[in-house]
Amino acid sequence: MHKWIMSALVTIACAMGVYLLATGLPERPKEEKLAEGQELLKIKATNFEFDQAEYHVKAGTTYKIKFSNTLGTHGIEFVGLGIDLTKDNPDTEFTFDKPGEYELHCSIMCGQGHAGMKSKLIVE
């Protein structure tokens, strides 16, 4: 007798699903635009550690350095290079001229694991 009601409800549900999918999707991530000859160095900090134990870069190359926190409040200082990045100042450009090893450590007192929050930057 009322077989059309089920078909109408399924059609309405499908239409609402398509509408929600079309309007509720997040924006695409924006691509990093780098100058010619420039490379990207991404460093992420999380709960008292950096995402890599060592970061390798080429001497004489200009890098865009991007820093991000995924958990906690952290900063990063490149000892001997004069670079200090935080949540308020998350990126910079720098040319690594001298080969060698440089220490990276958290520049913001972040808690009990702060003293062990270290990494290395190796300029080859």
The answer as to whether 11 is a domain residue is no
Distance CA 109, CA 105 (A): 11
The answer as to whether 4 is a domain residue is no
Render pLDDT for 46-65 as a digit per residue (tens, 0 to 9): 888 888 999 999 999 999 99
Distance CA 121, CA 119 (A): 7
Say if pTM beats, i.e. exceeds, 0.85.
Answer: no
At 46, which CATH number? Answer: 2.60.40.420
What is the number of structural domains in the chain?
A: 1
The two structure tokens encoding residue 55: 């970061």
Task: Count CB neighbours of 117 within 10 A.
Answer: 22
The answer as to whether 101 is a domain residue is yes
Render pLDDT for 102-123 as a digit per residue (tens, 0 to 9): 999 988 888 888 888 899 999 9
With cut-offs at 50, 70 and 90, classify the pLDDT of residue 19: confident
Q: How far is CA 39 from the centre of its chain?
A: 15
| Domain span at 95 | 38-123
